[in-house]
Structure 1
């Protein structure tokens, strides 16, 4: 049940949906657990790689002990051979949010996978896909060239064509596929910054860039010490090499290269640090674009969780609507 439709007097009518977002290694998981303890909440994962069973060390997944008894949802729900789906995640996350509220508790979404966060929080509709239609369009692109399909897209959906490069075969094919299956322009499915739930409060965690880079390096070295390579070796036995999403994850891709003799351990560590720092910049750019996020300095003192809790309470009061 959404708070939008909670009956008069129902405590869920004023229960916010809290999201803790930001770059890797800022301390999001710690803050989410602390907020859950203060707000009688449960945590919902919004990190695409933490959906995978067994990808624990390399994703810095919180252990059972670190969760301190706080229930966590949407962790360990996929095998490494499966491909993560944003649309499937959206459905699962919203079901988890509704179930947590039905228990009279506060849902707390946490993660740095920007599109997954947006899928859970915003009014985003994901268009259908049809393997046969896509295969036919891909075959045409191969035979006639991407520019030919781009010209067709210009006739059918000028707005989409204007935003997609002439040689961007993947996006051209997707836009044509969406148009053929739905009869609607591709732009109709683009995300817009409008919360699905009006009682959503987004908190962003930030750290000074040099300090964050140092934390990233320390995290990668700690992963190795904790047995990251053994984890990758075990996941290879479960089909990691066949996983289109999982095997390309930063750290796991490098670890597989070490096992294959293509990289030394030192080279893999350096590559993982560089790749993670690049990811940090991308995540920061993504979340900074969202003006609805209120930012907190993660190094701002031991009262961070108290300040964040106070902000959630103020924001919830400011956005709450009288129950019908």
Structure 2
């Protein structure tokens, strides 16, 4: 087990995490490790606000562009990859807003097996009846798991019921704990909600101007629409609906803003529950020095 802590920069989307992580890496001789689940995908650059080579300022970045868009995301696989980087890098700076990925990298987190037959049966039921009856079943069998999963998140509900049926144990028994495998210093960037809402709207507008629609069009040729994870990513799923004629372009932009704002609230709630996160205002004067002080305290 490593002695030096992993540094993690976390918080909601559009808070400025990536830039602070690069600043910290430059000062500490560190290397950045991606913890944004959608930046793992090759070609998903504009819609995920992936830093360009110039914006990385020479700092090595790990776990970017490792999966094709047709690959279904696996937190278990990500955990293995992230920990291999931690063990190889002297000062890893973990950065991203995918809370489960951050916890999988740092904390004790168990990944039960899968059963294709059980999964297929539950997914068929989800497709036919929607998530509501499955969620009610989960509430009866594992109230703690149900309380931690959105009632609309059919994929997570199916996974929870699969684990319960396969293992005979509550799914909540496998959910993230605060038992660390790697010591860490976690810095959270907080942004007042009205400011964050404004930043998200501006970011989405800039993504459109930067060519998000063309990016999605190109990725459709690589199987994006069939990707069970990548095809549902914020921005990408909405642009697909525009390109297939289901929505107008204005609808796609409006929905991307609305859903990103909702997602940012969930991100903040997730990280707020972790007592180890030390919060700093995103626009704090001398934020780099203040972050370094937290790391060294």
CA distance in 2, matches of 1:126, 1:45: 20
Task: Kindly provide the CA deviation profile for residues 52-109 of structure 1, in whole angstroms up to 9, marking residues without a partner as x.
Answer: 0000000000011100010001100111111111111111111111111xxxx20110
- Relative distance call for 1:235 and 1:200 in structure 2 (3 A) is same
The answer as to 2:181 corresponding to 1:186 is no
- Relative distance call for 1:162 and 1:304 in structure 2 (3 A) is closer
TM-score when scaled to structure 2? 0.88
CA distance in 1, matches of 2:32, 2:215: 25
User: CA offset at residue 237 of structure 1?
Assistant: 0.7
The answer as to 2:185 corresponding to 1:201 is yes
User: CA offset at residue 207 of structure 1?
Assistant: 1.3
Aligned counterpart, 2:274 = 290
Task: Kindly provide the CA deviation profile for residues 126-162 of structure 1, in whole angstroms up to 9, marking residues without a partner as x.
Answer: 11112134346678998xxx68x959x97xxx6x367
Please, which of 22, 25, 28 is the counterpart of residue 39 of structure 1? 28
Aligned counterpart, 1:309 = 292
CA distance in 2, matches of 1:162, 1:106: 36
Q: Is the 8 A contact 1:22 1:287 kept in 2?
A: yes
The answer as to 2:252 corresponding to 1:268 is yes
Please, which of 113, 119, 130 is the counterpart of residue 115 of structure 2? 130
User: CA offset at residue 188 of structure 1?
Assistant: 2.7
Task: Kindly provide the CA deviation profile for residues 182-230 of structure 1, in whole angstroms up to 9, marking residues without a partner as x.
Answer: 4544343122112212x31110001121111111111111111111111
Aligned counterpart, 2:227 = 243
Task: Give the number of the structure whose alpha-carbon radius of gyration is greater.
Answer: 1
CA distance in 1, matches of 2:256, 2:167: 41
CA distance in 2, matches of 1:71, 1:77: 15
- Relative distance call for 1:203 and 1:135 in structure 2 (3 A) is same
- Relative distance call for 1:18 and 1:277 in structure 2 (3 A) is same
The answer as to 2:197 corresponding to 1:213 is yes
Please, which of 29, 35, 48 is the counterpart of residue 37 of structure 2? 48
Aligned counterpart, 1:253 = 237
Q: Is the 8 A contact 2:145 2:160 kept in 1?
A: no
CA distance in 1, matches of 2:124, 2:46: 40
What pairs up with 1:109-148 in 2 under 5 angstroms?
109-135=94-120
TM-score when scaled to structure 1? 0.81
- Relative distance call for 1:133 and 1:213 in structure 2 (3 A) is closer
Q: Aligned residues, how many?
A: 289
- Relative distance call for 1:265 and 1:176 in structure 2 (3 A) is closer
- Relative distance call for 1:296 and 1:175 in structure 2 (3 A) is closer
Q: Is the 8 A contact 1:216 1:276 kept in 2?
A: yes
User: What are the ranges of 5 or more consecutive residues in structure 2 without an aligned counterpart?
Assistant: none
User: What are the ranges of 5 or more consecutive residues in structure 1 without an aligned counterpart?
Assistant: 4-12, 315-324
* 3-state SS of 1:44 partner: strand
Aligned counterpart, 1:91 = 80
User: CA offset at residue 271 of structure 1?
Assistant: 1.3
* 3-state SS of 1:295 partner: strand
Give RMSD over aligned pairs: 2.8
Aligned counterpart, 2:212 = 228
Q: Is the 8 A contact 1:20 1:108 kept in 2?
A: yes
CA distance in 1, matches of 2:108, 2:179: 6
* 3-state SS of 1:48 partner: coil
